[in-house]
Structure 1
């Protein structure tokens, strides 16, 4: 059976899928600048047209590839090469345009964030400790995306909890690991910061997810 997404028009663009258009509505609701399919590339001899360049022409720029299902190895590999070739981080996002986790703001200590005290030693990434099992808050949550960095080409990418987060320090909405907004570059180095700060469930983000889900594109209707 031959089946493909229906193209959707929004904000002067013709998106290849309804999911892409909904993410554009989401970013517009947050005031996040984006450009859709701004530049095509030839990667390993194959033409490649990335979906979004978010925060274009800034030091916060990143590629955002939207997938309706879990990406293939080939799709992840192309995003890796895109990140390396352009020097810009790429996310392959396969989560739905909805809040990825419940409110976790009650977790404020590193001990609660990491979960149970059992650890094993590993020689990866400089002999860091890793939990034997997921923390309680992680159980039942699905991964949302792959993050591919220009300098991490030798590592096998793993999907994880990459969530849109609402930074209270600089006001930017950006994708961060588990919604953490620790280490904002606009914050002074000597500023006091909590060890854990979930910022994926703010009113502004909830409104943006709501706008994305409820958007109507038929017959010239505005989202």
Structure 2
């Protein structure tokens, strides 16, 4: 028997799952503007195009966002195709360039528990979860990482090769686990004032029952 997600209301939107609503709380806590399911698109090469409705659009960061509770819930081929500019998702605000990569799609899992503190002399901050980022470079799709901190999102597109515009998918070669893995905050612009940690806590502790505010 499959477990159905709980539809949840927040900020004037009816989210398909409580996890999506928690990420909206997280974005609000970091003052990241978001749009929920603004538009669906057909993605993929001719003859194999399929409908895809991304969960969020972040207009300032120029990023699409997909939320999944587990890696097993992901349609990997669809997501890799969506990350290829010429037959994937459009970018209404123009490309998000990080070095010579186009950052295309952020994949978020369950809201992680963030408690540990990393201390490295002058650089001290909370340990950050890293999240999967799909980017495109010279015909190839890569899985890099994204880290939330006091300034918003830091994107690190270099990572394992996961596909190309052939199109072929090589998800097993991505070079890192999908989801939320911990990485020392000092290595990636540490969260000195704890804003990102506070956003994770707010999202995890949000209660939506009976009209309560998160």
TM-score, length of structure 2 as denominator length: 0.64
Residue of structure 2 in register with 1:106 after alignment: 120
- Shift in CA distance, 85/107, structure 1 to aligned 2, threshold 3 Å: farther
Aligned 1:40-59 pairs, distance under 5 A = 40-44=40-44, 45-54=49-58, 56=59, 58=60
- Shift in CA distance, 101/64, structure 1 to aligned 2, threshold 3 Å: farther
- Shift in CA distance, 82/8, structure 1 to aligned 2, threshold 3 Å: farther
What secondary structure is seen at the aligned counterpart in 1 of 2:207? coil
Q: 2:155 aligns with which of 176, 179, 199?
A: 176
Give, in angstroms, the shift of residue 66 of structure 1.
1.0
What secondary structure is seen at the aligned counterpart in 2 of 1:144? strand
Residue of structure 2 in register with 1:154 after alignment: 139
CA distance in 2, matches of 1:90, 1:101: 29
- Shift in CA distance, 100/161, structure 1 to aligned 2, threshold 3 Å: farther
Runs of at least 4 residues of structure 1 off by over 4 A?
Answer: 82-85
Figure out how many residues of one structure are paired with residues of the other and give that number.
166
Residue 37 (str. 1) matches residue 37 (str. 2): yes
Contact between 2:26 and 2:199, CA under 8 Å: does it hold in 1? yes
Aligned 1:137-216 pairs, distance under 5 A = 144-149=131-136, 152=137, 154-158=139-143, 160-167=144-151, 173-177=152-156, 197-200=188-191, 202-216=193-207
Unpaired runs of at least 5, structure 2? 96-102, 158-185
Q: Over aligned residues, Cα RMSD in angstroms? A: 3.2
Residue of structure 1 in register with 2:66 after alignment: 65
Unpaired runs of at least 5, structure 1? 110-137, 168-172, 179-194
